[in-house]
Amino acid sequence: MSSLYEQLGGRDAVNAAVDIFYRKMLVDSRVSGFFDNTDMDRQIDKQKAFLTMAFGGPNNYSGLDMAAAHKPLVDRGLNDMHVDVVVEHLASTLRELGVGEEQIAEVARIANSVRDQVLNRAA
Amino acid sequence: MKLTFENRDYLLNPGETVLDCLLRHEQAISHSCQAGACQSCMLRLVEGEVSDEAQIGLKDTLKVRGCFLSCQCVPEGEMKLVRADGDDLCIEAAIQEKGYLNHNTMILRLKSSAAIEECKPGQYFTLITPDNVDRCYSIANDPSVDGFVEFHVRLIPNGAMCEWLKNTAQVGMSVKLRGPAGECFYVGDQDKSYPLVLAGTGTGLAPLYGIVRDALQQGHVGPMILYHGALVEKDLYLVAELNALAGQYKNFSYRPCVLRGEAGQFYTAGHIEDVVLQELPEDKAATRLYLCGAMEFVASLRKKAFLHGLSSRLICSDSFT
Ligand code: HEM
């Protein structure tokens, strides 16, 4: 059986999803403040890394990396609500791309599995 | 097999990626996801070949410059590499002409056979004076057609480069150029029918003027519109040349915007950002947008154009710091 990442369409799926997802984040005032870095290209690349990971694709991030990447955001108040928002936009992005509910649930499960690391809580 | 990085050779282990090899040799290469997504490990190929696999997801303007993701690249032959943002060698050039485009903008034309072969209209060079003052300037023409490199220089009171250009620089004098760099240039090898929108403030017009003429030269057939934003009317320049170009090519239009302008003039009175956003082409997903000029202008319009539906991969920008 092929992996979730392959079922979703691999890197093409990431490229198709990234603009839609990032637009949702930028216009949602609950989370847009975390993306005020003016270097949009860099942000887009980071979001691709995020999507690749959430789609179950190849990545070499450890829990420690995830904690370090989000530490400055936690210092600025990142909490469970924000992770919920991310998961919500992730799901609606995939829905727009015609992905089935079962696979969307799987993606949400992967994203939620690193919640504690992202929020810098010792699991 | 060997790899040449910044002029030093490194031996590759079988099956090893470029990134792993360089890290193993303790070269400081930034990297993060190691899955070809985050693009932090991008390097640039100078000689050799790179597989399509290592360029997936990169902008066309980066691909044609030989940029690739080192974590996704297992070399099949010898490769010569540099950092993607690395300084290229310095090139000798001589001042061929200097003059004025308007009350606060100079034009500088330089002769240099080496520079002419290397660069694309819209990229930039760092200009270095004999006393080592350096500033970046965009290429405003197609040097391979004209035989010289043209820069537009905004005159800043007491700016070191401006003072040198005004008071010391003379025709025939030697200067150095470093580069070229930058990813703002025309890409038309696959399709020449997409809509092109170009918007610049101040001497941000220079690269756009280069790109427009390059696109027309290469036979671009899609609609092209160039916006030049200025504070007051006398800050505009190349008005006659751009109007002539618009008269000559049906698919090209020129739209000067003056912030403190009056209604009923040859320009549009208002903020360039509002004018551009109001007039975005219908086919937003296919539109390519070039933005050059002041940093706040570029960052703001870039984000707004993206939120209006333009694809992030089709927005190219250069800003002055
Ligand atoms: C739901 C679980 C999450 C996962 C799996 C995740 C994953 C990632 C990954 C893989 C990166 C790239 C790290 C790098 O290579 O440097 C990243 C960066 C980033 N994430 Fe998350 N993330 C999550 C939640 C969030 C949330 C809730 C926010 C804010 C609302 C957020 C905001 C960011 C930002 C702003 C960056 C870029 C940081 C920088 O510029 O260095 N992430 N994330």
Q: Could you read off the pLDDT of B230-259 as tens digits, one per residue?
A: 999 999 999 999 999 999 999 999 999 999
pTM confidence score: 0.83
What is the C-alpha separation between A15 and B292, in angstroms, rounded? 25
Domain harbouring A51, CATH code:
1.10.490.10
The predicted structure's pLDDT at residue B312: 92
Domain count, chain A: 1
Structural domain span for residue A43? 4-118
Q: What is the pLDDT of residue A123?
A: 55
A82 inside domain: yes
Grade residue A27 by pLDDT with cuts at 50, 70 and 90.
Answer: very high
Low-confidence ranges of chain B (pLDDT < 50): none
What is the complex's ipTM, to 2 decimals? 0.86
* Residue of chain B nearest A22, judged by CA positions: B307
Query: Domain for residue A27, yes or no?
Result: yes
Question: Is A123 inside any structural domain?
Answer: no
| A79 inside domain | yes
| Nearest atom, ligand 1, residue A46 CA | 12
Give me the pLDDT at residue B116, please.
Answer: 77
Ligand 1: residue whose CA is nearest its atom 13: A69
Distances in whole angstroms, Cα of residue B56 to Cα of each of A10, B181, B182: 12, 21, 20
**Within a domain: residue A41?**
yes
Whether the pLDDT of residue A38 is over 80: the answer is no
Residue A50 Cα to ligand 1 middle (Å): 6
pLDDT of residue B133: 87
C-alpha atoms less than 13 angstroms from C-alpha of A73 in its C-beta half-sphere: 21
Query: For residues A24 and A30, what is the distance between their CA atoms, to the nearest angstrom?
Result: 11
For residue B21, give the H/E element and its range: helix B18-24
Nearest residue on chain B to A37, alpha-carbon basis: B299
pLDDT of residue A64: 82
- A→B contacts (Cβ < 8 Å), by residue, are 11, 14-15, 18-19, 22-23, 26-27, 38, 40-41, 44-46, 48-49, 51-53, 57-61, 65
**d(Cα B169, Cα B135) in Å, to the nearest integer?**
15
Q: For a pocket test of ligand 1, which of A34, A46, A110, A114 has the largest count of ligand atoms closer than 8 A to its C-beta?
A: A46
Contacts of B180 (CB under 8 A, 6+ apart): B88, B115, B118, B119, B120, B123, B124, B125, B139
Residue B108 contacts residue B165 (beta carbons within 8 Å)? yes
Half-sphere CA count of A101, side-chain side, radius 13 A: 0
Domains annotated for chain B, with CATH where assigned, are 2-84 (3.10.20.30), 89-181 (2.40.30.10), 196-320 (3.40.50.80)
Are A38 and B295 within 8 A, CB to CB?
A: yes
State residue B35's pLDDT score: 79
Specify the length of chain A in residues. Answer: 123
Facing residue for B35 by CB, picked from A23, A41, A59? A59
- Residue A81 lies inside a defined structural domain of this protein: yes
What separation in angstroms does the CA of A5 have from each of A46, A50, A52, B106, B226? 18, 13, 8, 54, 42
Which residues of chain B are within 8 Å of residue A46 when distances are taken between CB atoms? Answer: 38
Q: Say yes or no for a CB contact (<8 Å) between A49 and B34.
A: no
In the reported structure, the alpha carbon of residue B46 is separated from the centroid of ligand 1 by a whole-number distance in angstroms of: 33
Q: How far is A100 from chain B (nearest CA, A)?
A: 24
